[in-house]
């Protein structure tokens, strides 16, 4: 099947998936590029369709193994003109896919874990994607986010995760309720706050959760009021704060260092 019209129903559907409300409504999101599709196949993501550019001239050739795996999926061909009209990438590789989001029933917090990451209204998609990738590098299987946090299925977030989106479960919850439940289960809650004297090197991470706040305003006051202790990253220079994704990486790797 070759699609040549921008008015095709599937092409219209893909354009709609650029908006969060439609991603939520249809339970789908779009991925682009050979690497992302390879990761989706490897992690058994539910791929609905793979769109392949029929006449694109790209330098990114696929290996026979990749072509074999892609051929097992439902593939639809489009012209370069159509692909350009729906891509979010500056230099597209000529391949994209529609993937089903995990069912809400699958999004349950596993309280048996030793380490938890909570995100309170992180706004920047680049930060969100980098945080997911960092969590994946430490084999964290879940991240708990507030309703105001950037959508993890935003195209920029998905690209910057480099495949981590298929391995880390992003669970949207009311953080205040989650914190209260964690405290019942003996999980120590740490909230990042520039005003405290206690640093990330002064606390015990054996069974704990860390909350990272909004890039501009930090952790919400109502959430910060519920934490067991406030912590910060000590800095020797004149800079007072760090990028949210950088700060998250430093804290998560300190947690991991203690474990090792």
- The tens digit of pLDDT for each residue in 119-142 reads 999 999 999 999 999 999 999 999
Our CA angle for 157, 159, 164, nearest 5°, is 80
Please give the domain boundaries of the chain with CATH numbers for all domains.
Answer: 2-101 (3.30.1330.30), 105-259 (3.40.1280.10)
For 156-172, the three-class secondary structure string (H helix, E strand, C coil) is HHHHHHCCHHHCCEEEE
Lowest mean pLDDT among 28-42, 48-62, 170-184: 48-62
pLDDT of residue 191: 97
Structure tokens at 247: 């700060």
- The tens digit of pLDDT for each residue in 140-182 reads 999 999 999 999 999 999 999 999 999 999 999 999 999 999 9
Distance CA 8, CA 31 (A): 19
Q: Alpha helix (H) ranges present in the chain? A: 9-16, 20-26, 34-42, 64-71, 80-86, 125-137, 155-161, 175-184, 221-224, 244-259
Higher-pLDDT residue of 98, 102 = 98
Cβ(14)–Cβ(7) below 8 Å: no
Whether residue 240 is predicted with pLDDT greater than 80 in this model: the reply is: no
Per 3-state DSSP, the chain is made up of helix, strand and coil in percentages (nearest 5) of 35, 20, 45
Average pLDDT (88-95) is: 87
Cβ(207)–Cβ(116) below 8 Å: no
- The tens digit of pLDDT for each residue in 192-208 reads 999 999 999 999 999 99
Element (H, E) at 52: strand 47-53
Whether residue 220 is predicted with pLDDT greater than 60 in this model: the reply is: yes
- Using the CB atoms, write b or e for 184-214: b if 16+ within 10 Å: eeebbbbbbbeeeeeebeebebeebbbbbbb
Distance CA 130, CA 146 (A): 17
pLDDT of residue 89: 86
Q: For residue 187, what pLDDT band results from cuts at 50, 70 and 90?
A: very high
Lowest mean pLDDT among 42-46, 101-105, 241-245: 101-105
Whether residue 58 is predicted with pLDDT greater than 70 in this model: the reply is: no
Higher-pLDDT residue of 240, 26 = 26
258: left (phi over 0), alpha (psi -120 to 50) or beta: alpha
């Amino acid at each position: 099947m070759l699609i040549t019209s921008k008015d095709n129903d599937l092409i219209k559907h893909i354009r709609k998936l650029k908006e969060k409300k439609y991603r939520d409504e249809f339970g789908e999101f779009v991925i682009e590029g050979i690497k992302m599709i390879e990761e989706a196949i490897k992690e058994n993501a539910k791929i609905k369709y793979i769109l392949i550019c029929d006449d694109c001239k790209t330098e990114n050739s696929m290996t026979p193994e990749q072509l074999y795996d892609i051929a097992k999926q439902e593939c639809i061909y489009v012209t370069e003109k159509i692909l350009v009209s729906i891509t979010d990438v500056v230099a597209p590789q000529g391949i994209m896919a529609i993937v089903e989001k995990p069912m809400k029933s699958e999004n349950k917090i596993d309280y048996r874990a030793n380490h938890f990451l909570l995100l309170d209204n992180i706004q920047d998609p680049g930060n969100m994607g980098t945080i997911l990738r960092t969590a994946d590098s430490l084999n964290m299987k879940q991240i708990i986010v507030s309703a105001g946090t950037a959508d993890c299925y935003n195209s920029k977030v998905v690209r910057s995760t480099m495949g981590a989106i298929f391995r880390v479960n992003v669970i949207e919850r009311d953080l205040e309720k989650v914190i209260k439940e964690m405290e019942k289960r003996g999980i120590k809650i740490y909230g990042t706050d520039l005003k405290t004297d206690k640093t990330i090197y002064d606390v015990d991470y054996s069974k704990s959760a860390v909350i990272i706040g909004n890039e501009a305003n930090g952790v919400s006051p109502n959430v910060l009021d519920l934490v067991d202790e406030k912590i910060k990253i000590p800095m020797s220079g004149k800079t007072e704060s760090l990028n949210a994704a950088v700060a998250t990486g430093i804290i998560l790797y300190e947690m991991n260092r203690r474990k090792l």
